[in-house]
């Protein structure tokens, strides 16, 4: 048992990654608390599912528009220094949300501006963080570290919304934004305290015209990169809109409030943490894992759409969260192991675009479906996207494997 746990957490043996892990967990918990609070505040002010979807879309729209440029910066500058800049800039919209709610002058448009500014910084921060992991732990620990990154996100997704639900119900939204502002200190301290000499940083990319087009060509020429990115785009656009779907399910399908919302989000987080630890222990990635995770995601989402009460919904959402985190982690690891070092920032920016930047399309669509018809339709849409991705992954990766086997077979060998 002890050996299994050590394998699940072996990236934490690296001091720089250990500091990063702790800082990220605290900081992302604050970010999730801010996300939940902002969405709940918009829903309270407008009573509109579309407005909730619009808020989510505005947060991720900059990733869709400018994420590729963020990848160029991640390849061009030292990632640790770049993260110190982005994490500092993220405090500005956080401070704005705290200020307007403390003064009692909050309006939906103010929240829209704040989340858009946060997303604008994130279009540099996210691809930089994604491509920074391998510099801290090396390729031999990459799958484990990516899985542990998922643990960070899911623990934050439990702690942040749970704390937000308690604070909203007892003292209001302002302390949520104020506490999030303080959590940025943890990540800044973690970055400052790292040993730069222990980082396995590649030489910075040469500044030249056409850097983004060069990254796109690199992906187009490598199916090991293009196929996982396409699968992530499909499920990311149609299936990964839980920030919009869950508050609407809690309020309109189950007649609950902030507490019910926190239960649903936390249930997904618990399942995700368990799955991420299992995935990190096994250290497996590739086409078969991606296809199996997509299938489990699709089936779980369809089951979640049929659950009659909050308790059963939470149980199924735990399974759905586990499948989702293995799907994303496997795609992330598969891409990072296939990409060349000089292209890592740009390719991980494309990953961030299809994962997060697809939300401006899927978010409003999810909000409109939930408001016009039924929030459960959003889960049906997620289920269908997962089943489609599973079929596509199985078909395409099998063909790729067969072609690789044929190419490796000696000339004249019998079939």
Q: Report the 3 state secondary structure along 141-188.
A: HHHHHHHHHHHHHHHHHHHHHHHHHHHHHHCCCHHHHHHHHHHHHHHH
- Residue 39 pLDDT exceeds 90: no
**Residue 248 has what pLDDT?**
82
**Residue 156 has what pLDDT?**
78
**Residue 411 has what pLDDT?**
46
- Residue 147 pLDDT exceeds 90: no
Set out the domains of the chain in order of their start, with CATH numbers.
9-192+209-408 (1.20.1250.20)
Closest CA to 265 of 163, 173, 145, 371: 163
Q: Which helix (H) or strand (E) holds 90?
A: none
Cβ-Cβ contacts under 8 Å for 8 (sequence gap 6 or more):
144, 147, 277, 278, 280, 281
Report the range of poorest mean pLDDT among 49-53, 217-221, 343-347. Answer: 49-53
Report the range of poorest mean pLDDT among 5-19, 162-176, 320-334. Answer: 5-19
**Residue 415 has what pLDDT?**
37
Q: What does the pLDDT look like over 355-393, one tens digit per residue? A: 776 666 777 777 777 777 888 888 999 999 999 999 999
Average pLDDT over residues 91-106: 94
Q: What does the pLDDT look like over 271-321, one tens digit per residue? A: 888 887 777 666 667 788 899 999 999 999 999 999 988 899 999 999 999
Average pLDDT over residues 107-112: 93
**Residue 295 has what pLDDT?**
96
More confident residue, 253 or 17: 17
**Residue 6 has what pLDDT?**
62
Average pLDDT over residues 110-138: 91
What's 358's DSSP letter? T
Report the range of poorest mean pLDDT among 34-43, 90-99, 366-375. Answer: 366-375
**Residue 409 has what pLDDT?**
55
d(CA 303, CA 119): 32
**Residue 228 has what pLDDT?**
92
């Amino acid at each position: 048992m002890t050996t299994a746990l050590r394998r699940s957490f072996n990236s934490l043996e690296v001091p720089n990654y250990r500091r990063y892990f702790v800082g990220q967990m605290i900081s992302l918990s604050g970010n999730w608390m801010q996300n939940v609070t902002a969405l709940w505040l918009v829903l309270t002010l407008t009573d509109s599912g579309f407005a909730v979807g619009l808020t989510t879309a505005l947060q991720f729209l900059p990733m869709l528009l400018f994420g590729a440029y963020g990848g160029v910066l991640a390849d061009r500058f030292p990632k640790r220094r770049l993260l110190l800049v982005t994490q500092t800039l993220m405090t500005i919209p956080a401070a704005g949300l705290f200020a307007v709610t403390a003064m009692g002058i909050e309006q939906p448009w103010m929240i829209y501006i704040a989340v858009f500014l946060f997303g604008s910084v994130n279009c540099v921060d996210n691809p930089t963080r994604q491509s920074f992991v391998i510099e801290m732990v090396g390729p031999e620990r990459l799958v484990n570290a990516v899985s542990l990154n998922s643990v960070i996100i899911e623990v934050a997704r439990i702690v942040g919304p749970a704390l937000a639900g308690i604070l909203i119900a007892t003292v209001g939204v302002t302390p949520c934004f104020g506490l999030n502002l303080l959590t940025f200190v943890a990540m800044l301290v973690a970055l400052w305290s790292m040993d730069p000499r222990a980082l396995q940083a590649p030489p910075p990319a040469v500044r030249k015209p056409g850097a983004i087009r060069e990254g796109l060509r690199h992906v187009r020429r490598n199916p090991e990169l293009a196929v996982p990115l396409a699968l992530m785009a499909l499920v990311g656009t149609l299936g990964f809109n839980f920030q919009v779907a869950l508050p609407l399910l809690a309020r309109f399908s189950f007649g609950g409030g902030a507490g019910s919302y926190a239960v649903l989000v936390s249930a997904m987080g618990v399942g995700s943490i368990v799955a991420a630890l299992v995935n990190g222990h096994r250290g497996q990635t590739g086409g078969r894992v991606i296809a199996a995770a997509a299938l489990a995601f699709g089936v779980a989402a369809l089951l979640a759409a049929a659950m009659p009460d909050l308790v059963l919904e939470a149980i199924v959402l735990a399974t759905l969260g586990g499948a989702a985190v293995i799907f994303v982690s496997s795609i992330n690891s598969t891409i990072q192991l296939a990409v060349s070092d000089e292209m890592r920032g740009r390719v991980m920016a494309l990953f961030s675009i299809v994962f997060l930047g697809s939300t401006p399309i899927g978010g409003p669509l999810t909000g409109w479906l939930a408001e016009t018809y039924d929030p459960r339709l959003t889960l049906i849409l997620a289920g269908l996207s997962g089943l489609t991705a599973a079929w596509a992954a199985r078909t395409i990766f099998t063909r790729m494997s067969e072609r690789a086997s044929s190419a490796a077979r000696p000339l004249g060998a019998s079939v």
